[in-house]
Chain A
Amino acid sequence: MTVPEVIINNLPMEATPPDWPGGYWWHWVFFSIVLIGFMLTMVIIAIYIERRGMGRMQSRLGPNRAGPFGVLQMIADVVKVLLKENIVPDKADKLIHWLAPIVAFVPVALLFTVIPFQNGALLADLNIGILFIVAVSSLTTLGVFMAGWGSSNKYSLLGAMRNVAAVVSYEIPLALSIVGTLLVAGTMSLNGIVLAQDIPFILLQPLGFLIFFIAGCAEINRSPFDLMEADSEIVAGFHTEYSGMKFALFYLVEYAEAIAISAIITTLFLGGWRGPLLPPWLWFIGKTLVVFFLMVWTRTTLPRVRIDQLMALAWKFLLPLALINLFITAIQVLAWDDAVNWIAVVINIVVMGVLILIWSKFFKLGWGRIEV
Protein backbone atom coordinates (compact mmCIF):
# COMPACT_ATOMS: atom_id res chain seq x y z
CA MET A 1 0.00 0.00 0.00
CA THR A 2 1.27 3.46 -0.83
CA VAL A 3 1.27 6.45 1.44
CA PRO A 4 -1.80 8.56 0.63
CA GLU A 5 -1.14 11.63 -1.49
CA VAL A 6 -2.54 13.96 1.11
CA ILE A 7 0.13 12.98 3.63
CA ILE A 8 3.01 13.51 1.20
CA ASN A 9 1.72 16.97 0.41
CA ASN A 10 1.35 17.88 4.07
CA LEU A 11 4.51 16.28 5.39
CA PRO A 12 4.83 17.76 8.85
CA MET A 13 7.50 20.19 9.85
CA GLU A 14 9.32 17.77 12.05
CA ALA A 15 12.69 18.36 10.40
CA THR A 16 12.45 22.08 9.89
CA PRO A 17 12.21 24.53 12.77
CA PRO A 18 9.41 27.07 12.49
CA ASP A 19 10.25 30.35 10.89
CA TRP A 20 10.30 32.28 14.14
CA PRO A 21 13.50 33.78 15.51
CA GLY A 22 15.16 31.38 17.89
CA GLY A 23 13.89 28.37 15.95
CA TYR A 24 12.87 25.38 18.00
CA TRP A 25 13.22 27.00 21.37
CA TRP A 26 10.44 29.48 20.88
CA HIS A 27 8.30 26.70 19.50
CA TRP A 28 8.88 24.61 22.59
CA VAL A 29 8.42 27.42 25.09
CA PHE A 30 5.24 28.57 23.38
CA PHE A 31 3.70 25.14 23.12
CA SER A 32 4.71 24.12 26.64
CA ILE A 33 2.89 27.12 28.07
CA VAL A 34 -0.09 26.60 25.77
CA LEU A 35 -0.30 22.91 26.62
CA ILE A 36 -0.15 23.43 30.38
CA GLY A 37 -2.78 26.15 30.12
CA PHE A 38 -4.89 23.96 27.85
CA MET A 39 -4.63 21.01 30.23
CA LEU A 40 -5.60 23.00 33.34
CA THR A 41 -8.45 24.80 31.59
CA MET A 42 -9.80 21.61 30.08
CA VAL A 43 -9.63 19.85 33.44
CA ILE A 44 -11.68 22.63 35.03
CA ILE A 45 -14.20 22.47 32.17
CA ALA A 46 -14.27 18.68 32.40
CA ILE A 47 -14.94 18.66 36.13
CA TYR A 48 -17.68 21.22 35.63
CA ILE A 49 -19.29 19.15 32.86
CA GLU A 50 -19.02 16.00 34.93
CA ARG A 51 -20.48 17.44 38.10
CA ARG A 52 -23.30 19.33 36.40
CA GLY A 53 -24.07 16.59 33.88
CA MET A 54 -24.01 13.86 36.49
CA GLY A 55 -26.17 16.01 38.73
CA ARG A 56 -28.83 16.46 36.07
CA MET A 57 -28.76 12.76 35.16
CA GLN A 58 -29.27 11.90 38.82
CA SER A 59 -32.12 14.43 39.07
CA ARG A 60 -29.99 16.87 41.05
CA LEU A 61 -28.71 20.29 40.10
CA GLY A 62 -25.02 19.93 40.76
CA PRO A 63 -22.89 22.81 42.05
CA ASN A 64 -24.73 26.09 41.43
CA ARG A 65 -23.62 28.45 44.19
CA ALA A 66 -20.19 29.82 43.24
CA GLY A 67 -20.57 32.16 40.30
CA PRO A 68 -23.26 32.01 37.60
CA PHE A 69 -24.42 28.39 37.18
CA GLY A 70 -21.64 27.32 39.54
CA VAL A 71 -18.83 27.83 37.03
CA LEU A 72 -16.49 29.09 39.74
CA GLN A 73 -17.03 26.04 41.93
CA MET A 74 -13.82 24.38 40.70
CA ILE A 75 -11.80 27.51 41.47
CA ALA A 76 -13.22 27.50 44.98
CA ASP A 77 -12.38 23.81 45.33
CA VAL A 78 -8.81 24.40 44.17
CA VAL A 79 -8.37 27.21 46.70
CA LYS A 80 -9.82 25.01 49.42
CA VAL A 81 -7.65 22.03 48.63
CA LEU A 82 -4.49 24.15 48.40
CA LEU A 83 -5.10 25.59 51.86
CA LYS A 84 -5.63 22.20 53.42
CA GLU A 85 -3.19 20.54 55.76
CA ASN A 86 -0.79 18.07 54.21
CA ILE A 87 -0.89 14.87 56.25
CA VAL A 88 1.70 12.16 55.77
CA PRO A 89 1.04 8.91 57.64
CA ASP A 90 3.55 8.04 60.34
CA LYS A 91 4.56 4.72 58.84
CA ALA A 92 4.51 5.92 55.25
CA ASP A 93 7.51 5.54 53.01
CA LYS A 94 8.01 9.30 53.00
CA LEU A 95 10.07 9.73 49.84
CA ILE A 96 7.83 7.52 47.71
CA HIS A 97 4.74 9.08 49.24
CA TRP A 98 6.04 12.50 48.22
CA LEU A 99 7.14 11.51 44.75
CA ALA A 100 4.08 9.51 43.71
CA PRO A 101 1.82 12.42 42.62
CA ILE A 102 4.61 13.92 40.53
CA VAL A 103 5.44 10.59 38.90
CA ALA A 104 1.75 10.16 38.12
CA PHE A 105 1.41 13.67 36.73
CA VAL A 106 4.37 13.89 34.34
CA PRO A 107 3.27 11.18 31.85
CA VAL A 108 -0.18 12.73 31.55
CA ALA A 109 1.37 16.07 30.71
CA LEU A 110 3.58 14.32 28.16
CA LEU A 111 0.54 12.79 26.45
CA PHE A 112 -0.60 16.21 25.23
CA THR A 113 2.68 16.93 23.47
CA VAL A 114 1.89 14.83 20.39
CA ILE A 115 -1.79 15.67 19.96
CA PRO A 116 -2.39 18.07 17.05
CA PHE A 117 -4.65 21.08 17.64
CA GLN A 118 -4.46 22.16 14.03
CA ASN A 119 -2.47 21.11 11.01
CA GLY A 120 1.07 20.90 12.39
CA ALA A 121 0.18 22.76 15.57
CA LEU A 122 1.64 20.46 18.15
CA LEU A 123 4.68 20.46 20.39
CA ALA A 124 6.49 17.58 18.72
CA ASP A 125 5.23 15.87 15.58
CA LEU A 126 6.86 12.53 16.28
CA ASN A 127 6.71 10.07 13.42
CA ILE A 128 6.00 7.44 16.11
CA GLY A 129 3.43 9.61 17.87
CA ILE A 130 0.91 6.90 18.68
CA LEU A 131 3.64 4.54 19.89
CA PHE A 132 4.81 7.33 22.18
CA ILE A 133 1.28 7.63 23.56
CA VAL A 134 0.94 3.91 24.19
CA ALA A 135 4.33 3.87 25.91
CA VAL A 136 3.84 6.95 28.06
CA SER A 137 0.20 6.56 29.03
CA SER A 138 0.84 3.44 31.06
CA LEU A 139 3.60 5.15 33.08
CA THR A 140 0.98 6.83 35.26
CA THR A 141 0.41 3.44 36.82
CA LEU A 142 3.90 3.65 38.31
CA GLY A 143 2.90 6.76 40.21
CA VAL A 144 -0.34 5.13 41.32
CA PHE A 145 1.49 2.05 42.53
CA MET A 146 4.06 4.18 44.34
CA ALA A 147 1.19 5.97 46.06
CA GLY A 148 -0.40 2.68 47.07
CA TRP A 149 2.85 1.24 48.34
CA GLY A 150 4.15 4.39 50.03
CA SER A 151 0.96 5.01 52.00
CA SER A 152 1.43 1.85 54.09
CA ASN A 153 -2.30 1.30 54.06
CA LYS A 154 -3.90 -1.96 53.05
CA TYR A 155 -6.69 -0.33 51.07
CA SER A 156 -4.25 1.86 49.19
CA LEU A 157 -2.17 -1.17 48.31
CA LEU A 158 -5.26 -3.11 47.22
CA GLY A 159 -6.36 -0.27 44.98
CA ALA A 160 -2.89 0.07 43.50
CA MET A 161 -2.67 -3.68 42.83
CA ARG A 162 -6.02 -3.61 41.08
CA ASN A 163 -4.89 -0.66 39.03
CA VAL A 164 -1.72 -2.42 37.91
CA ALA A 165 -3.69 -5.54 37.01
CA ALA A 166 -6.20 -3.53 35.03
CA VAL A 167 -3.64 -1.51 33.14
CA VAL A 168 -1.54 -4.57 32.28
CA SER A 169 -4.63 -6.32 30.92
CA TYR A 170 -6.22 -3.42 29.10
CA GLU A 171 -3.00 -2.18 27.52
CA ILE A 172 -3.18 -5.07 25.05
CA PRO A 173 -6.65 -4.51 23.53
CA LEU A 174 -5.92 -0.78 23.65
CA ALA A 175 -2.78 -1.12 21.56
CA LEU A 176 -4.35 -3.68 19.22
CA SER A 177 -7.36 -1.48 18.52
CA ILE A 178 -5.01 1.35 17.59
CA VAL A 179 -3.13 -0.85 15.13
CA GLY A 180 -6.22 -1.20 12.95
CA THR A 181 -6.38 2.57 12.63
CA LEU A 182 -2.68 2.72 11.84
CA LEU A 183 -3.10 0.19 9.04
CA VAL A 184 -5.79 2.29 7.41
CA ALA A 185 -3.96 5.58 7.91
CA GLY A 186 -0.54 4.24 6.92
CA THR A 187 1.30 6.47 9.36
CA MET A 188 2.01 6.63 13.10
CA SER A 189 2.23 10.39 13.33
CA LEU A 190 -0.96 11.73 14.88
CA ASN A 191 -1.01 14.69 12.52
CA GLY A 192 -0.67 12.25 9.63
CA ILE A 193 -3.53 10.16 10.96
CA VAL A 194 -5.77 13.21 11.08
CA LEU A 195 -4.77 14.16 7.57
CA ALA A 196 -5.60 10.65 6.37
CA GLN A 197 -9.15 10.80 7.74
CA ASP A 198 -11.24 11.86 4.78
CA ILE A 199 -14.07 10.06 6.51
CA PRO A 200 -13.75 9.74 10.31
CA PHE A 201 -12.21 6.41 11.24
CA ILE A 202 -15.08 5.72 13.65
CA LEU A 203 -17.02 4.65 10.53
CA LEU A 204 -14.17 2.55 9.16
CA GLN A 205 -13.17 1.12 12.53
CA PRO A 206 -16.36 1.00 14.64
CA LEU A 207 -15.20 -2.04 16.56
CA GLY A 208 -11.77 -0.48 17.09
CA PHE A 209 -13.44 2.64 18.46
CA LEU A 210 -15.58 0.62 20.84
CA ILE A 211 -12.63 -1.40 22.12
CA PHE A 212 -10.45 1.68 22.45
CA PHE A 213 -13.17 3.52 24.35
CA ILE A 214 -13.77 0.65 26.78
CA ALA A 215 -10.08 -0.09 27.27
CA GLY A 216 -9.32 3.61 27.63
CA CYS A 217 -11.99 4.00 30.29
CA ALA A 218 -10.57 1.01 32.12
CA GLU A 219 -7.02 2.27 31.90
CA ILE A 220 -7.79 5.66 33.42
CA ASN A 221 -10.00 4.17 36.16
CA ARG A 222 -13.22 5.70 35.05
CA SER A 223 -16.53 4.20 35.95
CA PRO A 224 -17.70 1.46 35.40
CA PHE A 225 -14.12 0.26 35.78
CA ASP A 226 -13.29 2.44 38.78
CA LEU A 227 -12.90 -0.40 41.23
CA MET A 228 -9.30 0.68 41.89
CA GLU A 229 -10.61 3.75 43.64
CA ALA A 230 -14.00 2.45 44.70
CA ASP A 231 -15.17 4.62 47.55
CA SER A 232 -17.55 2.03 48.89
CA GLU A 233 -15.16 -0.90 49.16
CA ILE A 234 -11.59 0.35 49.49
CA VAL A 235 -12.13 3.96 50.53
CA ALA A 236 -10.78 5.69 47.42
CA GLY A 237 -7.93 3.22 46.90
CA PHE A 238 -4.48 4.60 46.29
CA HIS A 239 -5.20 8.18 47.31
CA THR A 240 -6.79 7.36 50.65
CA GLU A 241 -3.80 8.76 52.54
CA TYR A 242 -3.36 11.87 50.43
CA SER A 243 -4.55 15.31 51.34
CA GLY A 244 -4.01 18.91 50.36
CA MET A 245 -1.91 19.69 47.32
CA LYS A 246 -0.88 16.11 46.68
CA PHE A 247 -4.47 14.97 46.55
CA ALA A 248 -5.21 17.87 44.20
CA LEU A 249 -2.46 16.60 41.93
CA PHE A 250 -4.01 13.11 41.85
CA TYR A 251 -7.39 14.64 41.14
CA LEU A 252 -5.84 16.67 38.34
CA VAL A 253 -4.19 13.52 36.95
CA GLU A 254 -7.50 11.68 36.94
CA TYR A 255 -9.26 14.30 34.84
CA ALA A 256 -6.24 15.18 32.71
CA GLU A 257 -6.04 11.49 31.80
CA ALA A 258 -9.71 11.47 30.87
CA ILE A 259 -9.20 14.55 28.70
CA ALA A 260 -6.08 12.99 27.17
CA ILE A 261 -7.94 9.79 26.27
CA SER A 262 -10.80 11.86 24.86
CA ALA A 263 -8.31 13.86 22.79
CA ILE A 264 -6.65 10.68 21.53
CA ILE A 265 -10.01 9.18 20.59
CA THR A 266 -10.87 12.43 18.82
CA THR A 267 -7.60 12.34 16.92
CA LEU A 268 -7.70 8.67 16.02
CA PHE A 269 -11.37 8.08 15.31
CA LEU A 270 -13.30 11.33 15.00
CA GLY A 271 -11.18 13.23 12.52
CA GLY A 272 -9.24 15.34 15.02
CA TRP A 273 -9.21 19.01 14.09
CA ARG A 274 -10.90 18.50 10.73
CA GLY A 275 -14.30 20.02 10.25
CA PRO A 276 -16.11 22.68 8.23
CA LEU A 277 -16.66 26.37 9.05
CA LEU A 278 -15.27 26.62 12.59
CA PRO A 279 -11.53 27.02 13.23
CA PRO A 280 -9.73 23.65 13.60
CA TRP A 281 -8.73 24.02 17.26
CA LEU A 282 -12.36 24.70 18.17
CA TRP A 283 -13.43 21.54 16.35
CA PHE A 284 -10.77 19.63 18.24
CA ILE A 285 -11.82 20.94 21.66
CA GLY A 286 -15.49 20.44 20.87
CA LYS A 287 -15.02 16.84 19.81
CA THR A 288 -12.85 16.17 22.85
CA LEU A 289 -15.58 17.47 25.14
CA VAL A 290 -18.20 15.38 23.35
CA VAL A 291 -16.13 12.24 23.92
CA PHE A 292 -15.63 13.25 27.53
CA PHE A 293 -19.38 13.69 27.90
CA LEU A 294 -19.78 10.14 26.58
CA MET A 295 -17.53 9.02 29.44
CA VAL A 296 -19.63 10.94 31.96
CA TRP A 297 -22.74 9.39 30.47
CA THR A 298 -21.45 5.83 30.83
CA ARG A 299 -20.20 6.64 34.30
CA THR A 300 -23.63 7.73 35.42
CA THR A 301 -25.38 4.78 33.83
CA LEU A 302 -23.34 1.67 34.46
CA PRO A 303 -22.67 0.02 37.81
CA ARG A 304 -19.15 -0.86 38.88
CA VAL A 305 -17.75 -4.23 37.75
CA ARG A 306 -15.99 -6.76 39.97
CA ILE A 307 -12.28 -7.45 39.59
CA ASP A 308 -12.88 -10.86 37.96
CA GLN A 309 -15.41 -9.32 35.58
CA LEU A 310 -12.84 -6.65 34.75
CA MET A 311 -10.21 -9.24 33.90
CA ALA A 312 -12.64 -11.45 32.01
CA LEU A 313 -13.84 -8.54 29.90
CA ALA A 314 -10.28 -7.71 28.92
CA TRP A 315 -9.02 -11.20 28.14
CA LYS A 316 -12.13 -13.02 26.94
CA PHE A 317 -14.00 -10.24 25.19
CA LEU A 318 -11.84 -7.32 24.12
CA LEU A 319 -8.64 -9.15 23.22
CA PRO A 320 -10.17 -11.65 20.74
CA LEU A 321 -12.33 -8.96 19.20
CA ALA A 322 -9.33 -6.66 18.83
CA LEU A 323 -7.35 -9.45 17.14
CA ILE A 324 -10.21 -10.24 14.74
CA ASN A 325 -10.67 -6.56 14.01
CA LEU A 326 -6.96 -6.23 13.23
CA PHE A 327 -7.12 -9.28 10.95
CA ILE A 328 -10.14 -8.01 9.01
CA THR A 329 -8.62 -4.55 8.67
CA ALA A 330 -5.38 -6.01 7.37
CA ILE A 331 -7.24 -8.01 4.73
CA GLN A 332 -9.21 -4.93 3.68
CA VAL A 333 -6.07 -2.81 3.44
CA LEU A 334 -4.44 -5.50 1.30
CA ALA A 335 -7.52 -6.06 -0.87
CA TRP A 336 -8.44 -2.44 -1.68
CA ASP A 337 -5.82 0.02 -2.74
CA ASP A 338 -7.41 2.82 -0.80
CA ALA A 339 -8.96 1.32 2.28
CA VAL A 340 -10.98 4.49 2.84
CA ASN A 341 -14.16 3.62 0.99
CA TRP A 342 -17.82 3.16 1.75
CA ILE A 343 -17.98 -0.59 1.10
CA ALA A 344 -15.47 -1.09 3.89
CA VAL A 345 -17.59 1.11 6.15
CA VAL A 346 -20.70 -1.01 5.62
CA ILE A 347 -18.78 -4.28 5.97
CA ASN A 348 -17.06 -3.18 9.16
CA ILE A 349 -20.25 -2.01 10.84
CA VAL A 350 -22.00 -5.29 9.99
CA VAL A 351 -18.97 -7.25 11.18
CA MET A 352 -18.98 -5.33 14.46
CA GLY A 353 -22.62 -6.15 15.12
CA VAL A 354 -22.20 -9.83 14.32
CA LEU A 355 -19.01 -10.17 16.38
CA ILE A 356 -20.52 -8.50 19.44
CA LEU A 357 -23.57 -10.78 19.22
CA ILE A 358 -21.46 -13.94 18.88
CA TRP A 359 -19.03 -13.00 21.61
CA SER A 360 -21.77 -12.03 24.02
CA LYS A 361 -23.10 -15.55 23.50
CA PHE A 362 -19.69 -17.06 24.26
CA PHE A 363 -18.86 -14.80 27.16
CA LYS A 364 -19.09 -16.85 30.33
CA LEU A 365 -18.04 -15.87 33.79
CA GLY A 366 -17.96 -18.10 36.85
CA TRP A 367 -21.16 -20.12 36.88
CA GLY A 368 -22.93 -18.46 34.04
CA ARG A 369 -22.99 -15.87 31.34
CA ILE A 370 -22.34 -12.35 32.49
CA GLU A 371 -25.27 -10.07 31.73
CA VAL A 372 -23.52 -7.57 29.54
Chain B
Amino acid sequence: MKFERYGLGILKGMSVTIRHLFRHPTVTQYPEQWLNISRRSRGNELVWSREKCTGCCTCAKTCPQGAIEIITATNAEDNKYDVEKYCVDTGYCIQCGLCVEACPYDALFMGYSFERAQYRRNDLIQSDDALLESPERPASGYFHPDIAEKLPEQTLLIEKITEKRD
Protein backbone atom coordinates (compact mmCIF):
# COMPACT_ATOMS: atom_id res chain seq x y z
CA MET B 1 0.00 0.00 0.00
CA LYS B 2 1.65 3.19 -1.15
CA PHE B 3 0.49 5.96 1.12
CA GLU B 4 1.75 8.58 -1.32
CA ARG B 5 -1.47 8.02 -3.20
CA TYR B 6 -3.63 8.54 -0.15
CA GLY B 7 -2.74 12.07 0.79
CA LEU B 8 0.80 11.48 2.05
CA GLY B 9 2.21 12.80 -1.22
CA ILE B 10 0.50 16.13 -0.69
CA LEU B 11 1.87 16.33 2.85
CA LYS B 12 5.37 15.59 1.59
CA GLY B 13 5.08 18.38 -0.95
CA MET B 14 3.83 20.76 1.70
CA SER B 15 6.81 19.95 3.91
CA VAL B 16 9.17 20.76 1.05
CA THR B 17 7.68 24.21 0.54
CA ILE B 18 7.65 25.01 4.25
CA ARG B 19 11.31 24.05 4.50
CA HIS B 20 12.08 26.44 1.68
CA LEU B 21 10.24 29.17 3.57
CA PHE B 22 12.80 29.01 6.37
CA ARG B 23 15.84 28.69 4.12
CA HIS B 24 17.98 31.48 2.79
CA PRO B 25 16.73 32.45 -0.66
CA THR B 26 19.23 31.84 -3.45
CA VAL B 27 19.04 35.31 -4.90
CA THR B 28 21.44 38.22 -5.22
CA GLN B 29 20.18 41.78 -5.09
CA TYR B 30 22.24 42.64 -8.13
CA PRO B 31 23.07 46.32 -8.23
CA GLU B 32 23.85 46.24 -4.50
CA GLN B 33 25.30 42.76 -4.09
CA TRP B 34 27.82 41.39 -6.55
CA LEU B 35 28.89 37.84 -7.07
CA ASN B 36 32.36 36.96 -8.31
CA ILE B 37 32.00 35.76 -11.86
CA SER B 38 34.02 32.89 -13.28
CA ARG B 39 37.74 33.58 -13.40
CA ARG B 40 37.82 32.35 -17.00
CA SER B 41 34.89 34.54 -17.99
CA ARG B 42 34.79 35.73 -21.58
CA GLY B 43 33.49 39.22 -20.90
CA ASN B 44 31.99 41.37 -23.59
CA GLU B 45 35.07 43.17 -24.84
CA LEU B 46 38.73 42.57 -25.61
CA VAL B 47 41.79 43.76 -23.71
CA TRP B 48 44.71 44.55 -25.96
CA SER B 49 48.37 45.13 -25.11
CA ARG B 50 50.12 47.64 -27.33
CA GLU B 51 53.62 46.59 -26.19
CA LYS B 52 53.26 42.90 -26.99
CA CYS B 53 51.35 43.31 -30.24
CA THR B 54 53.46 42.85 -33.35
CA GLY B 55 50.76 43.63 -35.86
CA CYS B 56 50.77 40.08 -37.25
CA CYS B 57 47.00 40.18 -37.80
CA THR B 58 46.46 36.57 -36.66
CA CYS B 59 43.56 37.70 -34.50
CA ALA B 60 41.87 39.50 -37.38
CA LYS B 61 42.27 36.47 -39.64
CA THR B 62 40.89 34.03 -37.10
CA CYS B 63 37.86 36.15 -36.13
CA PRO B 64 34.75 34.41 -37.50
CA GLN B 65 32.84 37.69 -37.48
CA GLY B 66 35.52 39.84 -39.02
CA ALA B 67 35.10 42.23 -36.13
CA ILE B 68 38.78 43.10 -35.72
CA GLU B 69 40.36 45.67 -38.00
CA ILE B 70 44.11 46.32 -37.97
CA ILE B 71 46.05 48.87 -39.99
CA THR B 72 49.85 48.53 -39.82
CA ALA B 73 52.74 50.47 -41.27
CA THR B 74 56.23 49.10 -42.07
CA ASN B 75 58.92 50.34 -39.75
CA ALA B 76 62.13 49.74 -41.73
CA GLU B 77 64.46 51.02 -39.03
CA ASP B 78 63.39 48.55 -36.35
CA ASN B 79 62.49 45.87 -38.90
CA LYS B 80 58.92 45.43 -37.67
CA TYR B 81 55.31 46.55 -38.14
CA ASP B 82 53.84 49.60 -36.38
CA VAL B 83 50.20 49.22 -35.46
CA GLU B 84 48.50 52.39 -36.62
CA LYS B 85 44.97 51.37 -35.77
CA TYR B 86 43.57 48.44 -33.82
CA CYS B 87 39.78 48.53 -33.90
CA VAL B 88 37.22 46.03 -32.58
CA ASP B 89 33.52 46.29 -33.30
CA THR B 90 32.20 44.85 -30.02
CA GLY B 91 28.71 44.80 -31.51
CA TYR B 92 29.76 42.03 -33.89
CA CYS B 93 31.91 40.14 -31.38
CA ILE B 94 30.41 36.81 -30.30
CA GLN B 95 32.85 36.30 -27.40
CA CYS B 96 34.14 33.04 -28.90
CA GLY B 97 37.66 33.73 -27.70
CA LEU B 98 39.34 32.42 -30.87
CA CYS B 99 41.41 35.59 -31.29
CA VAL B 100 42.79 35.23 -27.75
CA GLU B 101 43.69 31.61 -28.38
CA ALA B 102 45.24 32.44 -31.74
CA CYS B 103 47.45 35.33 -30.66
CA PRO B 104 51.07 34.04 -30.81
CA TYR B 105 52.44 36.82 -28.57
CA ASP B 106 49.84 36.82 -25.74
CA ALA B 107 48.87 40.37 -26.63
CA LEU B 108 45.10 39.85 -26.53
CA PHE B 109 42.86 38.90 -23.58
CA MET B 110 39.16 38.55 -22.98
CA GLY B 111 37.69 41.17 -20.62
CA TYR B 112 36.70 40.33 -17.05
CA SER B 113 34.20 43.19 -16.64
CA PHE B 114 30.62 42.83 -17.74
CA GLU B 115 28.75 46.09 -17.20
CA ARG B 116 29.80 47.51 -20.56
CA ALA B 117 26.48 48.32 -22.21
CA GLN B 118 26.39 51.48 -24.31
CA TYR B 119 23.63 53.79 -25.37
CA ARG B 120 24.70 54.19 -28.98
CA ARG B 121 25.76 51.75 -31.65
CA ASN B 122 28.91 53.70 -32.44
CA ASP B 123 30.10 53.56 -28.83
CA LEU B 124 30.51 49.80 -29.24
CA ILE B 125 33.33 50.28 -31.72
CA GLN B 126 36.48 50.50 -29.59
CA SER B 127 39.89 51.27 -30.91
CA ASP B 128 43.50 51.74 -29.79
CA ASP B 129 43.81 53.25 -26.31
CA ALA B 130 40.24 52.38 -25.41
CA LEU B 131 41.23 48.70 -25.65
CA LEU B 132 44.15 48.87 -23.24
CA GLU B 133 43.99 47.23 -19.84
CA SER B 134 42.87 49.52 -17.02
CA PRO B 135 41.36 49.08 -13.54
CA GLU B 136 37.87 49.44 -15.08
CA ARG B 137 38.48 46.75 -17.66
CA PRO B 138 40.77 44.03 -16.24
CA ALA B 139 41.83 41.06 -18.31
CA SER B 140 40.09 37.73 -17.79
CA GLY B 141 41.91 34.49 -17.08
CA TYR B 142 40.53 32.89 -20.22
CA PHE B 143 43.37 30.94 -21.94
CA HIS B 144 45.76 32.56 -19.48
CA PRO B 145 45.98 30.47 -16.27
CA ASP B 146 48.56 32.82 -14.78
CA ILE B 147 46.03 35.67 -14.82
CA ALA B 148 43.25 33.39 -13.58
CA GLU B 149 45.23 32.52 -10.47
CA LYS B 150 45.30 36.13 -9.36
CA LEU B 151 41.56 36.72 -9.82
CA PRO B 152 39.09 36.09 -6.94
CA GLU B 153 37.38 32.71 -6.86
CA GLN B 154 33.91 32.41 -8.32
CA THR B 155 30.96 32.55 -5.91
CA LEU B 156 29.06 29.28 -6.02
CA LEU B 157 25.33 28.85 -5.53
CA ILE B 158 25.87 26.45 -2.63
CA GLU B 159 27.57 29.25 -0.70
CA LYS B 160 24.49 31.41 -1.17
CA ILE B 161 22.19 28.71 0.19
CA THR B 162 24.23 28.03 3.30
CA GLU B 163 24.78 31.74 3.89
CA LYS B 164 23.41 32.97 7.21
CA ARG B 165 20.09 34.79 7.13
CA ASP B 166 20.39 38.45 7.92
CB-CB under 8 A for A297 and B26, given A357-B6, A360-B5, A372-B7: no
The yes or no answer to A4 lying at the interface (CB within 8 A) is: no
**Contact, CB under 8 Å: B6 / A57:** no
Residue in B7, B14, B22 whose CB lies within 8 Å of A301: B14
Best-buried of A58, A59, A357, A360 by chain B (most CB within 10 Å): A59
- For the complex, would chain A's binding face be called helix, strand, loop or mixed by DSSP majority? helix
The yes or no answer to A56 lying at the interface (CB within 8 A) is: yes
- For the complex, would chain B's binding face be called helix, strand, loop or mixed by DSSP majority? helix
Residues in A with CB closer than 8 Å to B25 are 55-56, 59-61
In Å, the complex CA distance between A61 and B6 comes to 33
CB-CB under 8 A for A57 and B21, given A297-B14, A301-B10, A302-B13: yes
> What bracket does the count of chain A residues touching chain B fall in?
20 to 34
Chain A 23-61: CB-based contact to B (< 8 A → 1; otherwise 0): 000000000000000000000000000000101111111
Q: In this complex, what residue of A is CB-closest to B6?
A: A360
**Contact, CB under 8 Å: A298 / B14:** yes
Chain B 22-66: CB-based contact to A (< 8 A → 1; otherwise 0): 110111010000000000000000000000000000000000000
CB-CB under 8 A for A372 and B5, given A56-B25, A59-B27: yes
The yes or no answer to B20 lying at the interface (CB within 8 A) is: yes
CB-CB under 8 A for A300 and B17, given A360-B6, A360-B7: yes
The yes or no answer to A85 lying at the interface (CB within 8 A) is: no
In Å, the complex CA distance between A321 and B17 comes to 28
**Contact, CB under 8 Å: B9 / A371:** yes
**Contact, CB under 8 Å: A61 / B18:** no
The yes or no answer to A1 lying at the interface (CB within 8 A) is: no
**Contact, CB under 8 Å: A301 / B13:** yes
**Contact, CB under 8 Å: A301 / B16:** yes
The yes or no answer to A369 lying at the interface (CB within 8 A) is: yes
Show the binding face of B for A, using Cβ within 8 Å. 4-7, 9-10, 13-14, 16-18, 20-23, 25-27, 29
